[in-house]
Structure 1
Amino acid sequence: MVEEKEIIEKLLNGELKIRQIDDLVGDTEKSVDIRRKFIENVSNTKLEHLSNYSLSMEEAIKRNIENPIGTIQIPLGIAGPLEVHGEYADGDYYVPLATTEGALVASINRGFSVIKAAGGTSARIIEDKMTRAPVIKTESVSEAIKIKEWIKLHFNDLKEAAESTTRHGKLIKIDPIIIVGKYVYPRFVYTTGDSMGMNMVTIATDTALKILVEKTSAHVIALSGNVCVDKKAAAINLIEGRGKSIVAEISIPREIVEKKLKTTPEAIVEVNVSKNFIGSAIAGSMSFNAQYANMIGAIFLATGQDEAHIVEGSLGITFAEVVNGDLYFAVTLPDVPLATFGGGTKIETARECLEIMGVYGAGKVGKFAEIVAGTVLAGELSLIGALAAGHLARAHKDLGRG
C-alpha cells in the first residue's frame, strides 16, 4: 500500500494526477482525505469545515462528483405551512430552503401566511416535457428540406428507436424542425416520468439519430445544438415549455391584503405592471417576474436538483388584477426541470429534504411541482407586497441584512 505522504509528494511534483488517487488507494474516504490534504498543501489553507460531512462519498462518487475533497454547507431554513390544492398536492406542506440570503425564508413564510389566510393556492401542471435538439449539417438548403420532410414522415421509426433505450421516456413529437442555411435543428420532445430526464433523452436521441444518419445524407455536428434549450434562458422555453410547466393562482380578499401585506390590491397590480411587465420589457428581459430564481434556487439546492436549471426555472410571468375589489394573483413557470429520484436527489441531505415534503421517489414529481409553484407564488406575492407597501428596505434593515 502506497503511503499517504508518498502520494502527496507525487502529486506535488506532478508524477501523479488527482484523478488517479482512487485507483491507487482503493478506499473512497481515504482518497478524499488525501486529495483534500494535497489541496491544503498547495493552497496553504486549512480545510476544516469541508472535511465534516455525513453523506456517503462512496455513493456520491459513482454518479454525482469527481475528485471529491469534501462537501460544502449551506444554511437550510424551513417555511410553512404552505396550503396547496392541486391535482397531486392537496394539504399543508413545510418547505426546506437552502440559502445564504437573509430575509428570504422570512419573506416566503409571510407569503405562506397570506396564502393560508386566503384558503390556499390552486396549482396545476399544464405541460410536462424534456427536450434534446441536435444540429445536423446537410449539403444545401434543398437537402436540409429533404431531411426535415424525412423526419416528419419517419417519426414512428425514430420514436421506436428512441424509446428502445428507456422504460420511462416517451418521444411525443419532433417539433419545431428549424432550418438555418444548410443546418437543421430538430427538437426532440419527450415525457420522462419522475426523472428530470436530461440523460435519458440524450441517450434516446442519440439512438434515434443513428437511423437518420443511416437512411439520409444527414451529418450530426453535435447532439445538442442549443435549441433544446438546456441550462440557458431562451424564448423558445418560455413559449413551448420544458421540464414541468406549472401555474399557481390565488384570490385574496381585500381585507387580507390590507391586514397582512399592509397595502392594497390596486398597489400590488401597479407594481406588477410597472416593474414586472414594463420594467422587464424595457430591459429586454425574458422573465416578467420579481424573484422566481430566489425560490427556485433555494429549493433546488435543498433537494438535489441540477442547479444549472435555476436559469430556466427563473423564466416566467407574474399576473395580478383586481377582481370585485379583491386581488387575483398568479405565477406561471413554463420551464422547471424537476426530479424526485435519481441524480442529486439520492444524496442523503437532498433525500431528507424531499421527504419533509413527502415527495421523494417514484410517483411524486407532480406533487413536488405543485409545491414548488405554490412556494414561488408565496415569495413573489410577499416581495411585490413589500414593494407596494414600501417595506423592502425596512425588512432587510430590521433583520440585519445590510
Structure 2
Amino acid sequence: MPTNSRLPGFYKLSPAERLQTVCEAKGMESAALSVVVPADEGMLAMADRMIENVIGTLSVPLGVAANFKINGRDYLVPMATEEPSVVAAASNMASVARIHGGFHTSSDQPIMIAQIQVVGATDPHGARLRLYERRQELLDLANEQDPFLVGLGGGAKDIEVRIVDAGTATYVVVHLIVDVRDAMGANAVNTMAEALAPLVAEITGARVRLRILSNKADRRLARVRAVFDKTALGGDDVVDGILDAYAFAAADPYRAATHNKGIMNGITAVVLATGNDTRAVEAGAHCHAAASGRYTSLSTFEKDINGNLVGTIELPMAVGLIGGATKTHPVAQANVRLLGVESAQELAEVIVAVGLAQNTGALRALAAEGIQKGHMSLHARNIAVAAGADGDEIERVVVRLKESGHVRMDVAQKVLEEIRATAPAE
C-alpha cells in the first residue's frame, strides 16, 4: 500500500490520534509503532508542548562519566549518547588526567551576536558610520526588550557594523553584542534584533532582511588543558603515536573531520543530557575548526618537559541553564542537578573538559591497540541483543564474537543458533 503523506489537520490531533493516523497512512497495525509511546503519559504531554506533530518519544541511553576533576572540583558528568565506548573512554582519560591535577579551564563572558542584514543601501559606508553615530540609541532600544536580563548584569553591550560583499550585492550588517548571562541566548538576541530592525532601516535608508543570532559564537569561547601521564597512557611510544595522530588531523581535513567527531562525541553527549542545543554547539565548533580558512583539528597535543602528553581545546560553547529544554524537560533538570554547575560558564567548561577527555581516549586507542578493539568489544553486546540473545545468552554470544574477531550480525545469529542448539532441554 503506497504511503499518503497528505494529512489535513494532522497538527490539530492529539499524539495518540496522530499515531493512529500515521499507522493508517502507512497501512500498518498500530502495535507496530507502539514502542514510541512512553509509559509516562506526562512525558508524552510534555513532548507535545516542545515540538510539533508529536506521536511519541525516543529514549537515548544516559550514562555518567566518572573521575572528572576540573579546577580542583570533582564532577559526575551525565552523558546522553547511543554510541558505545564514549562514556568509558571519557571516564578512563579523566582518571589519567587526575594524576597531574585534572582539567584546568577558563571561559569568556556569555556573549552572543545577533545579525541584522541591511540590503539596498545606496551609500553602505556612509550608512555604516551613521549606525555607529546612533549606537547608544540602538543599545537602549535593545535593552528595553529585556529589562530582566539587564537587571542581572547582562543585555546589549555594543554594536559592530560590517560591510559584506556578496557577489553583485553589498550588505550592511549590524552585529548586536549581547551578554546573555546564564541563557543560551537565542530568544533574547533574536527579540532584540527584531525590535531594532525598523530603526536600523530608518538610519540606513534601506531595507532590513534577516535579523537573527549567529551560531559563530566566537566571543563565547571555553578552554581546557590537561596533562596526561605518559606511563598511564602506555609509554613514550603511545604518546608519540597520539602526537602523530594529532599532527595528521591538524594537516588533513579528511582526518580532522573524524578527529573532531571524536571530540564532539563527548561534547554533544553532555549538551544533549543537559537539554541544550546540540546543533548550535556543533555548528559553532565546526565553524571554529575552519576559522583559519582551512578545516583543521579543534584540539592540540604536545609533550611537556617530562614527556607527558599535554592536551588543549578552545572552542565556542553557547550553552545555558535557563530557558529551552533545560527548564522544561525533567530529565535535563535532573542531569543539571547531578552535575551541580551553577552558571552557564561553568557548564561550558565542564563540557570542553569532557570533549578533551574523549578525544584523548580515542587517540590513545588509535595509537595503541587500534580503535576497533575497545569500540567493537562494547559494540558486541549491542549486536548480541539485536541478534535476539537474552539473559545469559548475551554474554556467551559476546565472548564468542570477540574470540572470532568478527563482530557482525550474521555471525552473532549463527553463534546464537549454536548456543541454543546445544542448550539442555528444560
TM-score after normalising by structure 2: 0.76
Aligned residues: CA RMSD: 2.7
2 CA distance for matches of 1:286 and 1:145? 39
- One-letter code aligned to 2:224: A
Work out whether residues 78 and 335 of structure 2, in 8 Å CA contact, stay in contact via their aligned partners in 1.
yes
Distance apart, 1:333 and its partner CA: 3.5
Match of 2:25 in 1: 42
Which structure ranks higher in relative contact order (CA pairs < 8 Å, sequence separation ≥ 6)?
1
Match of 1:279 in 2: 252
Match of 2:419 in 1: none
Q: 1:258 aligns with which of 222, 231, 234?
A: 234
Distance 1:208 1:357, change over 3 A: same
2 CA distance for matches of 1:184 and 1:192? 24
Distance apart, 1:16 and its partner CA: 5.0
- List gaps (5 residues or longer) in structure 1: 1-11, 22-30, 231-236
Match of 2:195 in 1: 207
- One-letter code aligned to 1:34: E
1 CA distance for matches of 2:182 and 2:339? 15
Distance apart, 1:124 and its partner CA: 1.0
2 CA distance for matches of 1:222 and 1:284? 35
1:220-266, Cα deviation, whole Å (9 max, x unpaired): 12224xxx533xxxxxx3xx715x4111101234333336xx85433
Match of 2:130 in 1: 150
2 CA distance for matches of 1:388 and 1:15? 53
Counting matched residue pairs gives 355
SS in 2 for 1:182: strand
Distance 1:103 1:185, change over 3 A: same
2 CA distance for matches of 1:195 and 1:296? 18
1:41-84, Cα deviation, whole Å (9 max, x unpaired): 2221522221114344444544x212221111111122113111
Distance apart, 1:286 and its partner CA: 8.5
Greater share of residues in helix: 2
Match of 2:51 in 1: 65
Is 1:171 paired with 2:156?
yes
Distance 1:257 1:331, change over 3 A: same
SS in 2 for 1:400: helix
1 CA distance for matches of 2:257 and 2:181? 28
Q: 1:241 aligns with which of 218, 243, 251?
A: 218
Is 1:195 paired with 2:183?
yes
2 CA distance for matches of 1:136 and 1:285? 36
The percent of aligned pairs where both chains have the same amino acid is 20
Work out whether residues 76 and 339 of structure 2, in 8 Å CA contact, stay in contact via their aligned partners in 1.
yes
Match of 2:316 in 1: 335
Work out whether residues 223 and 312 of structure 2, in 8 Å CA contact, stay in contact via their aligned partners in 1.
yes
Q: 2:103 aligns with which of 117, 121, 127?
A: 121
Match of 2:416 in 1: none
Aligned runs of 1:217-236 on 2, under 5 Å? 217-224=205-212, 229-230=214-215
Distance 1:136 1:288, change over 3 A: farther
2 CA distance for matches of 1:191 and 1:372? 20
Higher gyration radius (CA): 2
Q: 2:325 aligns with which of 344, 350, 366?
A: 344
TM-score after normalising by structure 1: 0.80
Distance apart, 1:305 and its partner CA: 1.1
